């Protein structure tokens, strides 16, 4: 029976329904329907299915192929594990690169923030020194008033934030380097 033969041959190849579906350019549910006997592949897909499963159309349509004992060769298991390990390694590498990129962007941001904070601090200090040289007391109705202008104190927080973000970004970059 076709449905049983598809299932037995697919399992003998160590393929999941999803993997077979991808190779045939159909959705997994189509493979499931074939294996349950709810539908059958058209002639074009039947030929392609036989090729993918390394069998003939006659054998697929013939009598039910006996399911072999659950003797899966060590080579089949090793090949499957190797495939899974390769997929896992690719996914880990993709995540590592993503996080490394995020940490590099954070480091650049911290550097810009630090430069901005230092420039603003030095500008505020030089401006306040220039003002102090020509500072005069303004008289008002309630007595003399002196005005002090500085922005340097507000920039200390910016500089500290930049340093903390920079340190965290550097640690992240080192931790996500290729050297494991």
Task: Indicate whether 95 belongs to any domain.
Answer: yes
Query: Does residue 123 share a domain with residue 50?
Result: no
Coil, helix or strand at residue 111 = helix
Total structural domains in the chain?
A: 2
Give 6's contacts (C-beta < 8 A, 6+ positions apart).
31, 34, 35, 49, 53, 60
Range(s) of the domain holding residue 53: 2-61
Query: Does residue 103 share a domain with residue 167?
Result: yes
What pTM does this model have?
Answer: 0.44
Q: How many CA atoms lie within 13 A of 129 on its CB side?
A: 6
Task: Indicate whether 68 belongs to any domain.
Answer: no
Q: How far is residue 6 from each of residues 80, 120, 128, measured CA to CA in Å?
A: 20, 73, 84
Query: Does residue 53 share a domain with residue 95?
Result: no
Query: Does residue 163 share a domain with residue 95?
Result: yes
Query: Does residue 117 share a domain with residue 46?
Result: no
> Residue 168 CA to chain centroid, in angstroms?
20
pLDDT tens for each residue of the chain, 180 residues long: 778 888 888 988 888 999 999 999 999 999 998 888 888 888 788 889 888 888 888 887 776 555 544 445 667 767 777 888 888 889 999 999 999 999 999 999 999 988 988 888 777 777 665 555 544 555 555 655 555 444 455 677 788 888 999 999 999 989 888 765
Task: Indicate whether 77 belongs to any domain.
Answer: no
């Amino acid at each position: 029976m076709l449905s049983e033969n598809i299932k037995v041959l697919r399992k003998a190849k160590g393929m999941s329904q999803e993997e077979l579906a991808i190779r045939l350019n159909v959705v997994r549910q189509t493979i499931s329907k074939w294996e349950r006997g709810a539908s059958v592949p058209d002639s074009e897909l039947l030929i392609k299915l036989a090729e993918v499963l390394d069998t003939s159309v006659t054998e697929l349509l013939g009598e039910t192929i006996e399911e072999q004992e659950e003797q899966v060769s060590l080579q089949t298991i090793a090949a499957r594990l190797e495939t899974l390990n390769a997929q896992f390694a690719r996914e880990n590498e993709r995540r590592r690169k993503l996080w490394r990129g995020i940490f590099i962007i954070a480091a650049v941001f911290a550097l810009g923030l630090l430069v901005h904070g230092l420039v603003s601090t030095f500008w505020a200090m030089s401006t306040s020194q220039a003002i102090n040289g020509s500072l005069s007391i303004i008289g008002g109705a309630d007595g003399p008033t002196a005005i002090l202008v500085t922005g340097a104190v507000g920039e200390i927080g910016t500089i500290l934030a930049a340093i903390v973000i920079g340190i965290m970004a550097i640690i992240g970059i080192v931790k996500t380097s290729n050297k494991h």
